Amino acid sequence: MRRAVLATLLLAVGLAFPGMGYAEEPQGGAEALPPPAAPPPLRAEPREDRSDKAPDLRAGTFEVRVHDAFSRPVAGIQVELGVLFQDPAEGETRKQLLGTTNPEGVVLFSGLTVGTDHTYRAVVSQGPAAFASESIRLDALTGHRVLLHVYPSTPDIKKALIGMRGLVYIQPRDDVFQIEGNFQVFNIGPTAWVPSGLSLPLPDGAKAVRAQESMQDARIEKTIQGDLILTGTFGPGQRDVGYQFQLPNTHDPARSFRLALPPHVAEMRVIGEGPRSMTLSVAGFDAAEETRGKDGARLLVAGRRMTQGDAALGHVEIALAGLPVPSSGRWYAAGLALLLAVLGLAAHGRQAPRAGSGDGMRRETEEAEGLVLDELVALELLHRDGTIGPRTYESSRADLVEALARLAARRAAVTDADRQAQERPV
């Protein structure tokens, strides 16, 4: 079912991406071409790899079978078995074992260590392409068997039936915009695609760049320079790749940026999380619709599905507006109250309040306490509305609570001084 859906999707964008179009079949009737004199040659089809426990093999045995796209055994091809040993005290140790398939396309690795601290992964290389199994822990009672298929490969995406679905998630925070990109890469043809250093430029100012961890060779990778590239082997089937990065939040009411996309993106969604005031628009996309996430967060979703004749979608232009802007006067009263508390303690901390001076200081302290309480209420409302982020909320709330505690202590000291003055004999 998934393959049929993807075939329809790729057909819809066939004219947008050269090399992915479909020719119409000739119609019947007098002008129809006669049937071919000989059957057409076999056409390679994607085959499903397998990985299963093998009760017929001894424990500590790992069997690898290698077939081509026609399910025929491949003899004389080298198989690499990667071994990862994880020791809590010494860390990770890696090594490779090599073997060559026999005429039946089989190679057997025996005498391997079982247990949760050892994992194994079979890899078959053919030209620039690498076809690998998932990482496996061997069972203590049985062996393990994997079936891998190898395919012809190409670095030219126009010669492979590749289509992609993408999603970008944007979350404004106190000092940054957190951005995450995820892409599903579908290959429904018989040829593996091996991109050669395909770069995905990031917007200016991008920081905290991180590629999504993956056990597959097909992935997005972060270079030493901090750039992102699409690398590995995208064989028949589906591969998921992703990345994360941050952009500085300068607290302007609007922010826009361009995000590069990998090739052959046939369907794309951009999701922004934010307060009621925030809007999201993406050039060439449908108007964003509002919904709610699982945690109740407000989400704006803009999407586009490519249709026949559309130009290739090489990037997206994303614009955010209505972003919360901290007011310089919003926390003036809180800062003033904290300052009054600090000054009050500094001025009067060295000596007890004088008798008869308590009424005026008590009124000033109570007025300052009222200001702080009002600001605490306003802060809670802004946090509940999503106008301010968790970091601003926590730091501001801590300042206000500290100011309130100091004012309360000062009021208690004034009251105690007045009580002692009244009890003092005349």
Any domain includes 409:
yes
Same domain, 238 and 111: no
Any domain includes 399:
yes
The tokens describing 2, both together, are 């998934």
Same domain, 98 and 174: no
Same domain, 315 and 338: no
Q: Which of 150, 175, 195 is at the close of a domain? A: 150
CB 371 within 8 A of CB 334: yes
Same domain, 142 and 248: no
Domain count, the chain: 3
Q: Which of 125, 150, 175 is at the close of a domain? A: 150
Q: Which of 150, 183, 211 is at the close of a domain? A: 150
Same domain, 275 and 219: yes
Residue 354, domain extent: 332-423
CATH label of the domain that carries residue 278:
2.60.40
- Kind and range of the H or E element at 412? helix 390-423
Residue 16, classed as helix, strand or coil, is coil
For residue 77, the model assigns a pLDDT of 96
Any domain includes 55:
yes
Any domain includes 88:
yes
Give pLDDT tens digits for 302-350.
999 998 888 889 999 999 999 987 654 455 455 555 555 555 554 444 4
Same domain, 163 and 274: yes
Segment 278-300 shows an average pLDDT of 93
Predicted confidence band of residue 85 (pLDDT cuts 50, 70, 90): very high
Give pLDDT tens digits for 168-209.
999 998 789 999 999 999 999 889 999 987 899 999 999 999
For residue 14, the model assigns a pLDDT of 46
For residue 378, the model assigns a pLDDT of 76
Same domain, 174 and 255: yes
Report whether pLDDT(374) > 90. no
Any domain includes 266:
yes
CATH label of the domain that carries residue 94:
2.60.40.1120
**Range in 39-48, 105-114, 329-338, 343-352 with the lowest mean pLDDT:** 343-352
Q: What is the DSSP string of 165-226?
A: EEEEEEEE-SSEEEEEEEEEEEE-SSSEE--SSEE-PPPTT-EEEEEPP-SSSSEEEE-TTS
Any domain includes 175:
yes
For residue 417, the model assigns a pLDDT of 72
Same domain, 236 and 369: no
Any domain includes 4:
no
Any domain includes 172:
yes
Same domain, 205 and 309: yes
Q: From 278, 302, 299, select the one nearest 290 (Cα to Cα).
A: 299
For residue 421, the model assigns a pLDDT of 67
Please tell me the distance from the alpha carbon of residue 147 to that of residue 51, in angstroms, as a whole number: 6
Give pLDDT tens digits for 216-273.
788 898 888 778 999 999 999 899 999 999 999 988 999 999 999 999 999 999 999 9
